[in-house]
Chains A and B, each alone.
Chain A
Amino acid sequence: MSVQGLSPHGLNLKQFSQEFRAKTGPALLSSLDACVRCGVCAESCHYYQADPRPEHVPAYRAEAVRRILRTQDPWTRWFPGWFGAEPRRGRSDEEMLRALGDVIFGTCTQCRRCTLSCPMGVDTGTIVRTARGVLARHGLIPEGLKATVDAHLKTGNNMAVSREDFLDTLQWMEEQLQSDTGDPQARIPVNKQGARVLYTLNPREVKYFPLTILAAAKILYAAQEDWTFSTEAWDGTNYGLFSGEDDKAAEIARRLEAEAVRLGVQEVVMTECGHGYRSFRWEGPNWLGHPYPFRVRSFVELMAEYLDSGRIKLNPAANSLPVTYHDPCNLARNGGIIEEPRFLLSRAVREFREMTPNGKDNYCCGGGGGMLAMTEYSQRRLQAGQAKARQIAASGARVVVTSCHNCVDQLNELNRHYQLKVKVHNLCEIVADALVLAKAQRPAASGAAAQDA
């Protein structure tokens, strides 16, 4: 059900405005007042690239929020039309808020590419997220997004995978690891007290792509890492980032933090999940209001450290097709992880081709912002991926590598929709295939090659 069919449970414009203002810190306040509606942010948005109409200009999206706020702004309310308050046009408050909901849930992935392009630095992604949070609090949230957050809070992971299924999958992958490495002592540790690293997963790995778990386990085995999974808090995702519900996002982060403290780990390593990394690495401490007593890194950073320090060795001959890399917005633009994946790929593949633009300027694939959970916006999402599809086609690569599960899903859909004829893989699969194991066991296909099979 789209937001158009939902009722914001008595939320009116005044209440929306009050709750939004209550969540507004100094940075967001500046974002609200600094925009001069110059419109030069237009081309930075992948929605605009795919369908260049004014409604897809990022400033227009943020204006949708500002226009509602201006209806209650004591400085300008005496001349609302003049200063750009949302005209009522015979609509009720609920109808106006539903229209806003459609804009902020359905046309922005919070990728923040427009922020980097804005001459002021206006943070439209955060304006959108804050507005989502207020609407979600009153029930105006797409059902799929709400269900994903609620499942995480209720079951401990966003796909409601049972503990038995989780452990069965790990056991299966451990047997595969032993077979692939030829080492009957190779382990996938669970709940190991005092391990150095707590490794997290995205539930879709457990449910649909267990071979990415095997690929990661193989890399950790090759690096002789002291690591563990937890059965209590293994899901690194946090869709509270997308719903804008800070309280729920904080609770999800708190559980993972508590488990890391209980196990006494030195470091929490986030699986290749863009929003999970951003949520726990960057936003989590601020949602919780304190720093973590441990380090948090993406698996991409850890793999790069292994390679740089000689703990793993790679043979690029294992990946002979031309490869390009899609920078997940939450890793690159929102986390600064830009060189690490390129360093890994420079050693793991024969031929690497950059997309243009890339790094912090890379276009969002369209799968961020919780879009994959909001099926009512599927058509828009596929259309918004057009800029990315063009980039991939122009690169001439046969394999698209990325470090985000949502990106993988979206890129696979773009692959089918735009007939790109590429293969899409997580970075760890490519690295696992290129691993040169110390004991001379030839790694069986466990990463990208196995996924392809």
Chain B
Amino acid sequence: MVLPILVAAAFLFSLTALAVRLRPALALRKPDFSRPRGSAAAGVAYAYSIGMLPWTKQSGREHALAYVRGALFHVGIFLSFAVLALTLTPWLAGFPAGQRTGVALFLAVTCLAGLLGLWDRFRQRNLRALSVPEDYTAIVVVAAFVGLAAAAVRWPGLTGLFQAWSAWLLLYLPFSKLRHVWFFFFMRYFYGSHFGHRGVLPHPRMLEAR
């Protein structure tokens, strides 16, 4: 019973700390006084949909493997949070063993994708130059979180360890670059509304823009 309370407390701490960090961003943007050429709303819709597809941008086309690896890792992270929520309920034990093994295997693959990212950070010159020590630990902390989620799904006896690690992750998150999990959504909003307002993304036909 102690561990679920610890997880809940860590979650509340994380949320509060991020809200403080995010406070200026929560004000959303100042009004844009320039006359629009496109639509800010369309830009936001684009930023959260088509604009996230890897082939719509050079980085996605030239780093397709890294993109797929990163996407897979992030799917695993979100799934692990779902698993964490389920461990706080009696429902997880009710899933059939076959399904649990399948989910555990998938999570293990996503964990591997995260560790490959760590390998890239050691291996590639640009990434080494860009990285700070926290970049490495952040990946380790999250990859361990996903790996332990996989283990807890397959072997329920490890649930306590998974919950304890999750609490640590949630406490660490606001101080780490992991807070991009929140800023990502704000960033895409600002990006979309800015370039949408100017008619760059999505780009309206010439006559519509007049």
Contact = CB atoms under 8 A, between A and B. Distances in A.
Interface of A: 24-27, 29-31, 33-44, 54-55, 57, 59-60, 63, 75-76, 81-84, 115-123, 281-286, 288-292, 295-296, 301, 304-305, 308, 332-336, 338-340, 343, 357, 359-361
Interface in B52-87: 52, 57-60, 62-63, 66-67, 70
Q: Which 5 A-B pairs have the closest CB atoms?
A: A121-B191, A84-B132, A336-B199, A54-B129, A285-B33
Given A75-B175, A82-B133, A121 B66 contact: no
Interface residues of B, number: 64
B34 A336 contact: no
Nearest to B117: A38
Contact of A286 (B32, B129, B191): B32
Identify whether the interface residues of B are mostly helix, strand, loop, or mixed.
helix
Interface stretch (B95-103, B146-154, B179-187): B179-187
A131 to B, nearest CB: 18
Interface of B: 21, 24-30, 32-35, 37-38, 47, 52, 57-60, 62-63, 66-67, 70, 124-135, 137, 174-175, 177, 179-180, 183-184, 186-188, 190-192, 194-195, 198-201, 203-207, 209-210
A33 B57 CA distance: 21
Nearest to B139: A36
A26 B29 CA distance: 6
B130 A295 contact: no
A370 B195 CA distance: 22
Given A34-B180, A121-B190, A25 B130 contact: no
B59 A117 contact: yes
A50 to B, nearest CB: 15
Given A38-B66, A84-B132, A336-B38, A117 B57 contact: yes
A25 B186 CA distance: 12
Contacts of A123: 190-191, 194
Given A30-B183, A30-B187, A286-B33, A24 B58 contact: no
A343 B206 contact: yes
Given A38-B66, A76-B175, A335-B37, A25 B24 contact: yes
Contacts of B70: 38, 119
A246 B174 CA distance: 32
Contact of B35 (A54, A289, A291, A334): A291
Given A26-B27, A27-B194, A282-B198, A60 B130 contact: yes
Given A26-B27, A75-B21, A119 B37 contact: no
A121 B130 contact: no
